[in-house]
Structure 1
Amino acid sequence: MKVPKNKFRFILIFCIVGILFLQFSSAEKEDFVSYSVNPKMETIALYWKNEKHSNFGSIENLNKWLSKNKKKLLFATNGGMYKKDQSPQGLFIQNGITKSPIDTSTAGGNFYLKPNGIFYITSRKEAFISKTDEFINTKNVDFATQSGPMLVIDGKIHPAFNKNSTNLNIRNGVGVLPNNDIIFAMSKKEISFYEFAEYFKSKGCKNALYLDGFVSRTYCPKENWKQTDGNFGVIIGITKNKN
């Protein structure tokens, strides 16, 4: 049976597109470890100190503590920059209580590359990322962490980022997806701010926030990625109750 030329061309184009899509998906999977979560369906919290007022520091310490409290850790990543004593740099709200005040000052470094921003979760289990100067601390903010710079702002990549930048590093960040789910991501290799922002934009995030750089760690058993070391300030954890 002879295949018509037009039909053959269509099949060929379809196959090429399919191969390119698979290659892109594979490359993306190799370059990033990510975790998407519906904040209304899974328990998300920000951790800093235990009941003895000692820093958790590492994901391993947090995991052990959660296990003792009959919770299973599904995902964790460092949740923002911190000072030399591991105290949060900028705003940190935990269970509705402000543990560290907002920082609106001007200085050098990634944190102060304006606009920087705040990732927060409300008592209605809704997640938001806002520019620091637009954030309003209301009574319904359960958790919040400040960091910088913003990666994506109202659907656009931060104007200070250079597509050809040679400033490469491991990076982790957070974005809000079009369906209002949260996506956490960390690069598996050193990349530029522009490349990292581009990743969140490709996911449809209108706003995304940089969390930290070369010290970043991610615990994501679902993706067979388990980094549990580190000595952090705030840690973001997603948990479920043990049976």
Structure 2
Amino acid sequence: MKIDLKRRLGLALGALVAMTLPAMAGICEKRDFDGQGYVICTLDATQEPGLKLWLNDAEGNVLGDFFSVRKTLGEGEVLAFAMNAGMYHPDYSPVGLYVSDGTKEHDLVTAGGGGNFGMLPNGVFCAGGTRPYQVVESRAFKQAQPQCRIATQSGPMLVIDGALHPRFLVDSDSRHIRNGVGVSPDGQTAWFAISDDEVTFHEFGRLFKDGLGARDALYFDGSISRLYSPELRRSDFGRRLGPIIGYTGKN
């Protein structure tokens, strides 16, 4: 498996982070499925209040990376894991719905279009509503208007009501390092996943559907996908990011 220089540097930085920042253990783990390697970070319902979504700092400047996110944390607060959380424009603003701490900063987009975001159906990851975690197809989300403490829209959906997105091809030659989120049928568990190597949409969707048992799952992005996990001695970096999602707690 090839690891580029930036990822090697990220792994080295992650090792340094692990030595200097105690981690909340047991959240992220390496896992193999159908011949591919992944990192899965799992949160249960009791951990939902610690899940956060970041974009800008207090002065309105784009955070853009995990180090900047850590700088926003309070005394004794630890970032257990983080990853990019949806697509964004060149100015790093979200392409679709963005809600952080109950405040909506960008509207829902239901129209189709080019690119992965516009490959309908797309969807919204919502936490802190009537269920701890939800992934909802965007047009259904517009009709239901569920309450969310945090929400981020992206696309395409990976799994919809237990079925793979209808446009995914078994023999696709489009392969990227990808990340996304899936939710258990009862809404009590959320799985945040990133592939170790390049995978197709079909392979990535099957991880959530068949490997994790998710009823609904949402693609966050590919190529730029990044993970922060001190317990795995990992802190990826590269191009600056827009929305970032992560779990924090007191150490």
Q: TM-score by structure 1 length?
A: 0.83
1:149 aligns with 2:156: yes
What's 1:31 paired with? 37
What's 2:249 paired with? 240
Contact 1:92 1:98 (C-alpha < 8 Å) held by counterparts: yes
Contact 1:177 1:205 (C-alpha < 8 Å) held by counterparts: yes
From 171, 181, 185, give the equivalent of 1:174: 181
1:57 aligns with 2:64: yes
In the superposition, relative to structure 1, how do residues 36 and 107 fare at CA in structure 2: closer, same or farther (>3 Å)? same
What's 1:90 paired with? 96
Larger radius of gyration: 1
What's 2:145 paired with? 137
What's 2:191 paired with? 183
Identity percentage of aligned residues:
36
- Alpha-carbon distance, 1:65 to partner: 2.3
The secondary structure found in structure 2 opposite 1:112 is coil
What's 1:225 paired with? 234
Distance in 2 (alpha carbons) for counterparts of 1:56 and 1:85: 12
The secondary structure found in structure 2 opposite 1:40 is helix
- Alpha-carbon distance, 1:178 to partner: 4.0
From 58, 62, 79, give the equivalent of 1:73: 79
In the superposition, relative to structure 1, how do residues 52 and 69 fare at CA in structure 2: closer, same or farther (>3 Å)? farther
Q: TM-score by structure 2 length?
A: 0.81
Distance in 1 (alpha carbons) for counterparts of 2:68 and 2:208: 29
What RMSD, in angstroms, separates the aligned Cα atoms of the two structures? 1.9
CA deviation profile, 1:120-146 (whole Å, cap 9, x unmatched): 0124561100100000334x3111100
What's 2:222 paired with? 213
Distance in 1 (alpha carbons) for counterparts of 2:197 and 2:66: 20
Provide the aligned length of Structure 1 versus Structure 2: 216
CA deviation profile, 1:112-167 (whole Å, cap 9, x unmatched): 000000000124561100100000334x3111100000000110111100001001
Distance in 1 (alpha carbons) for counterparts of 2:220 and 2:180: 5
1:192 aligns with 2:200: yes
Q: Which moved more, 1:33-42 or 1:159-168?
A: 33-42
Distance in 2 (alpha carbons) for counterparts of 1:174 and 1:222: 20
In structure 2, runs of 5+ residues without a counterpart are 1-29
The secondary structure found in structure 2 opposite 1:129 is strand
What's 2:13 paired with? none
In the superposition, relative to structure 1, how do residues 39 and 47 fare at CA in structure 2: closer, same or farther (>3 Å)? farther
Distance in 2 (alpha carbons) for counterparts of 1:30 and 1:158: 20
Contact 2:228 2:234 (C-alpha < 8 Å) held by counterparts: yes
Distance in 2 (alpha carbons) for counterparts of 1:41 and 1:51: 25
The secondary structure found in structure 2 opposite 1:41 is helix
- Alpha-carbon distance, 1:181 to partner: 0.6
What's 1:161 paired with? 168
The secondary structure found in structure 2 opposite 1:85 is coil
Contact 2:178 2:225 (C-alpha < 8 Å) held by counterparts: yes
> For residues 106-145 of structure 1, what are the structure 2 equivalents within 5 Å?
106-123=112-129, 126-135=132-141, 136-138=144-146, 140-145=147-152
Contact 2:44 2:189 (C-alpha < 8 Å) held by counterparts: yes
In structure 1, runs of 5+ residues without a counterpart are 1-24
Contact 2:227 2:234 (C-alpha < 8 Å) held by counterparts: yes
- Alpha-carbon distance, 1:222 to partner: 2.7
Q: Which moved more, 1:157-166 or 1:179-188?
A: 179-188
Distance in 1 (alpha carbons) for counterparts of 2:127 and 2:51: 9
Give the counterpart letter for 1:169 in structure 2: H
What's 1:5 paired with? none
CA deviation profile, 1:193-217 (whole Å, cap 9, x unmatched): 0000000012100000000000010
- Alpha-carbon distance, 1:177 to partner: 2.2
